[in-house]
Amino acid sequence: MPQGVAQLRRTGIHLFRIAGIDIQIDFSWFIVFALVVWSLSSGYFPSQYPDQPTAIYWTVGLVAAILFFLSILLHELAHSMVAIRAGIEIPSITLFIFGGVSRLGEEARDPWTEFRIAVVGPLSSFALAGAFWSMEAVLSGAMPTLVTTVFEYLAMINLLLGLFNLVPGFPLDGGRLLRAFVWWRTGSVTRATRVASDVGKGFAIVLMILGGVQIFAGQLLGGAWLLFIGMFLRSVAEQGYQELVVRQSLEGIDVEDVMMRDVVAVSPDITLRQLVDDYFLKHGFRGFPVVKNGRPIGMIRIEDVARIGRNELERTTVNSTMTALDEAHRIAPDAPLSEALKKMSFDGVGRLIVMRGDEMQGILTKEWLRRFLDVRRALGTTAGV
């Protein structure tokens, strides 16, 4: 499930990197992983191959669950590889409670690129299903039935994963295929995204209704799962359209057109007590650039101070607590505003120091950018985009 540039940054556990892509596990993933292992070990495999020791079922269930999530990772890698070949940056892939997310550095530039990125996901799942069925056929009779049952399960689950992703509702792969088709027919990515988003929300509502019916029928776990998936898909479907509108409303606007020019900066030598009393409480900002000899050297945030004990505030300086200035926290004044939004989303920073060379020109914060967008929306400048 590829996602757009303005999605909220997910935090989790870094696993490794593949082709420059950061592979992560969101903390919510452990919930669904435990549920999958439990359902396979206590339900599916005992029913398919009874009268085995409990330890065998749990071992096989654990192996099958790991291979299932590796299948999801391969599905997302397929999206990512095609996107990279199209010149689109993929900073990370995250496995989380509802599957996987490939984070796209930008949206596809044309319907054909959108089609290729979207279609490869289900195709990879179908290819995995075929591979697992072939392994089951080859090993049948040569290996214990429980082992071949694992391959049968993986083939079935990958087939279902591919079919589910073909549902023509955003943000599923089928929704992106629908968007590519409408985009190609109409020439408008905005209209195409609106159509795919509406279909996605409709599909999400159907899932929520089915989940409610199952809950009332006594199938609590399955019903709750459908309900949560429906709620998630409905939220993301609407968010995908709103992100497109926001990005288009920022076209032609540079950072220097929006940034705050009157910057309140702090010295690295003051104590955190002075910082709290004279800056945080006085100005109400959640962070300040740290400046030494007229040049910014870092950023100090309220979260940094909150980690320090009250008794240590008098003895601790800003210099020992701040985050050193790096590329994640700076941006050029002539950079497009959409680039600042992408930078904030990917790097999880709440504010950017606007710099020309080594000189600070201003500062841009998420809150300031949100106010700017609200004003443009209120004035109708985004209407008809």
Q: Which positions are catalytic?
A: 76
The three-point CA angle 369-371-375 to 5° equals 115
* C-alpha torsion sign, points 8, 14, 18, 19: positive
Count other Cβ atoms within 10 Å, centred on residue 261.
9
4 backbone dihedrals φ, ψ, rounded to 5° = -80, 180
What letter does residue 384 receive in the DSSP assignment? T
Beta partners for residue 95, in sequence order? 25, 100
What six digits make up the tokens of 308? 């320090």
Residues 216, 226: contact at Cβ < 8 Å?
no
Count other Cβ atoms within 10 Å, centred on residue 32.
17
CB-based contacts of 158, cutoff 8 Å, min separation 6: 71, 125, 126, 128, 129, 132
46, with CB counted inside 10 A (0-12, 13-18, 19+), is middle
Cα–Cα dist 263/340, whole Å: 18
Three-state secondary structure call for residue 11? coil
**Closest C-alpha to 154, from 137, 138, 131:** 131
Residue type, 190: T
Q: What Å distances lie between residue 328 and 136, 344, 345, 346, CA to CA? A: 48, 8, 11, 9
Cα–Cα dist 8/265, whole Å: 28
Cα–Cα dist 42/61, whole Å: 9
**Closest C-alpha to 101, from 144, 165, 44, 53:** 165
Residues 318, 306: contact at Cβ < 8 Å?
no
